[in-house]
Chains A and B, each alone.
Chain A
Amino acid sequence: MTVDNSDIVQNAESSEPSRAELQAEIANLRRVNTELEASLQRSNRYIRDKTNHLLNVMGTSQLREEELEDDTLQEVDPLGIIFDSFRHILASLKDKNKQLQYLHDETVAIFSTAQVGIMVVDQCFRILSFNSRMKEIFFEQLTDGDIFGNHCGDLVCKGVIPEEFCAVRRILEGDALACFKGWEVQNRTLDVEAAPIYDTDGSVKRVVLVYKDITELKKSQEELYSLNTQLEERVTDRTRQLQEANRELESFCYSVSHDLRAPLRHLNGFVNILNEDYGNVIDGEGKGYLNRITVASSHMGRLIDDLLHISRVSRAEMNFVNIDLSRSAETVVSMFRESEPKRLVNISIARGLQARGDANLINILLQNLVGNAWKYSSLNAEPHIEIGKTVIGSKEAFYVRDNGVGFDMTYHDKLFQVFQRLHGEEFEGTGIGLATAQRIIARHNGEIWADSILGKGASFYFTLPQGD
């Protein structure tokens, strides 16, 4: 603090103070000045101390006097800066507190309404909290005072659960999650899951345990398993009965087919006698009737032959061998070419088609499928038959494809039924060939299906066990 001398001179002129008075006044002013300087220093020291204290809270170093002199300290106003910052921090923390409160309320609601038992223990296995479902499962007879702070092993596991199945121990040993299925304790079956709550230093502070009571579920599963077993037994029994009935039916079919041959032979024989011995007394109309009897009888003969054939296919003993399907197909194709040497059919057979099955049955299968292709492509001026292998979905399937008349896919479910035909008399047949093919494939545990566009040809696919 400084003293303005001009004031003193003016005062001297007006009131004329004595020299002694002036000296006293100067001394007084000096004293006041010294006190004010000391006060300012104390204020600055106070500001520095408080600022340093707050800077320390904020984790940084202290103000250095050589960097921030007293003259500029007030101008920079570090206390003001930190005060404003703390105000913003406080506002932010208030917001966070509000969010935390919501989260806490949510957690409490979930905790209390959860249909699973939830318990929290500390690293010394002491029970810190639990929900009402947990109490229902384990602590029904106890008061809260008997539970809090007690060792979870004494109240939950009760020495029944071996140490290696202790979920808390597993978490304390470093697992991020511990799961045990089908814990049997206190007449209950439980699935147990445990997870850690970490401290700021990364150590496990608490362990959260969740107990799902699956007693009823397990009981239901056991009942279901028992019912399934009974059902399987009944299915096996019924299958055996059906197989037996099938065998009897096939045997019956074979006998009937076989026995029908004799009266048919008699019928043909008598028609022949009528033609030969009475041909001169039978007029044209009668001969026409005899001719129709002969045609009908030979058709019946073919039906009987096919029925016998299908019976044999169903009854024949299986002899599984590796089969070169390409070669078998070539033999079958040669047979058809020899039967109609004048027909020109473009036939391609993929090389290396291998399968495992009964050679006789596979041969009959190919005869039926190639025979169909041969027959139904006869109206095409440039008939083409292709035999090969492809992949459909995840299955490898063999196929016989032609560019013949095809069939309407609307009726595809009738395709493999006995006596079902999708074409008229323009194509010969008894409607047994594809039924026979399906039985052969069924006996090899395979599948057979067809795809077609009417007028553009048909493809028959089948699967067989793989060859070695």
Chain B
Amino acid sequence: MDRVQTVEFDICGQICPSTLLIALREINRNIESLNNGEIRLLFKTDNRDCTNTIPEAAGNMGLNVKISKEESCYHILISKG
């Protein structure tokens, strides 16, 4: 059973750099829980640019990033590296 809690953020309609700043703010707030593997963050965005910037920044923090293209938006899932 998956015990990792997924916290979702719908940032559709926002563009860079706001999307990146929001994502960074939430990652910063939850960095300990992320590193402990207690939670993962799911950002839903329709801004294509941030599918590069958010994963790069999160990757540099040693976190694992998965990007998937869903019907109306991109899903950026950030979890323990």
Which stretch of B1-9, B24-32, B70-78 is in the interface? Answer: B24-32
Chain A 318-359 against B: per-residue CB contact (8 Å), 1 yes, 0 no?
Answer: 000000000000000000000000000000000000000000
Asked if A58 and B20 sit within 8 Å, CB to CB, the answer is yes
From A62, A76, A82, A92, contact of B61 by CB (8 A): A92
**Distance in Å: Cβ of A62 to nearest Cβ of chain B:** 7
Task: Give the docked Cα–Cα distance between A76 and B18 (Å).
Answer: 10
Interface of B (DSSP majority class): helix
Most buried by B among A88, A89, A96: A88
Task: Give the docked Cα–Cα distance between A58 and B52 (Å).
Answer: 10
A60 interface residue (CB < 8 Å to B): yes
A63 interface residue (CB < 8 Å to B): yes
Chain A 53-66 against B: per-residue CB contact (8 Å), 1 yes, 0 no?
Answer: 00100111111000
A89-112: which residues lie under 8 A (CB-CB) from chain B? 89, 91-93, 95-96
Q: Which partner residue on chain A sits nearest B63 by CB separation? A: A92
Asked if A92 and B60 sit within 8 Å, CB to CB, the answer is yes
Q: A82-B24, A95-B62 known; A60 and B31 CB under 8 Å?
A: no
Interface of A (DSSP majority class): helix
B67 interface residue (CB < 8 Å to A): no
Asked if A61 and B28 sit within 8 Å, CB to CB, the answer is no
Chain B residues whose CB sits within 8 angstroms of the CB of A95 once the complex forms = 62
Chain A 282-293 against B: per-residue CB contact (8 Å), 1 yes, 0 no?
Answer: 000000000000
Asked if A85 and B27 sit within 8 Å, CB to CB, the answer is yes
Asked if B62 and A81 sit within 8 Å, CB to CB, the answer is no
Q: A59-B52, A59-B53, A61-B16 known; A88 and B28 CB under 8 Å?
A: yes
B49 interface residue (CB < 8 Å to A): yes
A182 interface residue (CB < 8 Å to B): no
From A55, A60, A68, A93, contact of B60 by CB (8 A): A93
Chain A residues whose CB sits within 8 angstroms of the CB of B28 once the complex forms = 81, 84-85, 88
Asked if B24 and A60 sit within 8 Å, CB to CB, the answer is no
Can you spell out 29 A-B residue pairs with CB atoms less than 8 angstroms apart? A55-B20, A58-B20, A58-B57, A60-B16, A60-B49, A60-B50, A60-B53, A61-B16, A61-B17, A67-B18, A68-B18, A76-B21, A78-B17, A78-B21, A81-B21, A81-B24, A81-B25, A81-B28, A82-B24, A84-B24, A85-B24, A85-B61, A88-B27, A91-B61, A91-B62, A92-B61, A92-B62, A95-B62, A96-B62
Give the interface of A toward B (CB within 8 A).
55, 58-63, 67-68, 76, 78, 81-82, 84-85, 88-89, 91-93, 95-96
Given A60-B49, A61-B16, A91-B62: 12 more A-B contacts, CB < 8 Å = A55-B17, A60-B16, A60-B53, A78-B21, A81-B25, A81-B28, A85-B57, A88-B28, A89-B60, A92-B60, A93-B60, A95-B62
